[in-house]
Amino acid sequence: MTSQNERIRPLVEMQGFIGFDDHTVKHLDYALRISPVLCMMLTAVATAMESVTLLWVLLPFAVGGAILRNHPFDVLYNYGLRHLTGGPIIPRYPMPRRFACMLASVWITAEALCFTYGMPLAGHLLGWSLVATAAIPVITGFCVPSFLYGLIFGKPEMATANLSA
């Protein structure tokens, strides 16, 4: 195992993607950053504009990541970028990754409600803290909600997801 994979494997496995070969782990490290970067950017725009509408538009995507096979934004990688990079399809989301999307859904809802009911300071605090929390996995690969999931429910076990579409 290369030193790069020794560094990134724990970050990918913390999100529940366990038991994959080095090639898959290397590609997942970057593929798993696409949805958070898009959510981060949209949340930043919505927060800066205090746009309740944009937050409500973003919410179904966050909820989708919690309840669907993958995050809806993963289609950009699965049906486009992976063909350019030679990477595998993103496997079905394990519970730590779904927990992260569920937590983001609650966070977005709370922010939207703050802006709706005239609490802009609270809305900005929630929004910018969500942006900062999303920036961490985008920059480093470390997913704070997945880490919290591991503390609360224990470390994820071997993934049963396959690599087929």
CB atoms inside a 10 Å sphere around CB 123: 23
Q: Which two tokens stand for residue 140?
A: 């480093």
Q: What are phi and psi of 105, to 5 degrees?
A: -60, -45
pTM: 0.90
Q: Give the angle 139-114-65 at the CA atoms, nearest 5°.
A: 45
| pLDDT tens string 43-92 | 999 999 999 999 999 999 999 999 999 999 999 999 999 999 999 999 99
How far are the Cα atoms of 22, 32, 42, 98, 111 from residue 53, in angstroms, in the given order? Answer: 41, 26, 12, 24, 11
The C-alpha atoms of residue 31 and residue 89 are separated, in whole angstroms, by 9
Domain ranges of the chain: 11-153
* pLDDT above 80 for 101: yes
The model's pLDDT over 111-140, given as tens digits with 9 standing for 90+, comes to 999 999 999 999 999 999 999 999 999 999
Asked if residues 156 and 103 have their Cβ atoms less than 8 Å apart, the reply is: no
pLDDT digits 0-9 by tens, 149-162? 999 999 887 644 44
Is the CB of residue 90 less than 8 Å from the CB of residue 32? Answer: yes
